[in-house]
Amino acid sequence: MALSSIVLPHGFSESDRWVNTVVVRPLPAMTKVPCRRGACSAPALQVTGLLERLVSMAGDEPSTCAVRRLTAGDREAILLHLCRSLSGDRLWSLFDCPECGERVTLELAFSDLLVPPAAHPASEYHVAVDGRHMRLRAVFGADLESVSGDTGSAAESLARACVLESEPPLPEGLLPKELIEALSARWRVRPAGRHSAGCQVFLPAATSCRFRSIPEISSSR
C-alpha cells in the first residue's frame, strides 16, 4: 500500500525537536468512518476514528494517541489532502448566504485552501487579547474530543484549557462573550499571513451573491 508524506502547517514538539511531517496511508474509496464511544455524530470523534487508521509518525503504526496530539488545523490539513487524493484539486460548495439567504455556489481548489508550514511554530504563543496579556497553546484533537456534545460551554471549556496564563487573570465563572470571541479569532485567524495557534485554512470572502459579499469565513471549528 503506497504511503504519502504530508508536511503539516503547525506540527508538534517531540523529544526536544519539532515534528511537522506525518505519513498517511491512502484513503480507500467508500471508507466508512467508525463510530467511537457511542458518539457517531461528534465531528471530532469521527475525525479521530478515521485518522487513527491512516496517520503515523516517525515510522510508527497509526494510532489514536498520535492523531489526538495533532492541532485542529493539522487534522484539517490531513483531511484536505485525503479529499484531494480522492476527487482531485477542485471543490464545489453549495450553501445559503447568511446575510441575504440566497443560494450561493462557491468553487475552490484544495491547493488554495492549504496553508504553507509556519515559519516559526511554537508550543506556546504570547499574545494580547481583549486587554489581557496571555500565554496560549494550540487546540489539539484531544481538546476537541473533550468538548464533543457539549453545545452549551464548549468554547469556554476550550478557552480555559488552552489559556495557560493570563494577566490580568481570567474572571471566575462564565467568561464574557467578547473575550471568548476574541480568543476564537486568535485560534483561527492568520493576521498578515502569519500562523496563529494551530490555524489552517480560510474560505475567500468573494462569492456569487449578487447582493453583498459574505464576510471572510474560517473553516476551523
Here the cell at position 146 is 473533550
* pTM for this prediction: 0.77
pLDDT digits (tens, 9 = 90+) for 121-168: 888 888 888 889 999 998 899 999 998 877 668 888 888 999 999 999
- Check the CA dihedral 69-118-196-137 and report its sign: positive
Q: What's the confidence (pLDDT) of residue 57?
A: 78
Distance between CA atoms of 208 and 146, rounded to whole angstroms? 37
Check whether the bond before 215 is cis (ω within 30° of 0): no
Q: What's the confidence (pLDDT) of residue 75?
A: 92
pLDDT digits (tens, 9 = 90+) for 163-214: 999 999 998 888 888 888 888 877 764 433 333 444 443 333 333 333 333 3
Average pLDDT of the segment spanning 50-78: 86
Long-range pairs of 58-64 with CB within 8 A, sequence gap ≥ 24? 58/14, 58/19, 59/23, 62/25
Average pLDDT of the segment spanning 2-27: 86
Average pLDDT of the segment spanning 76-89: 89
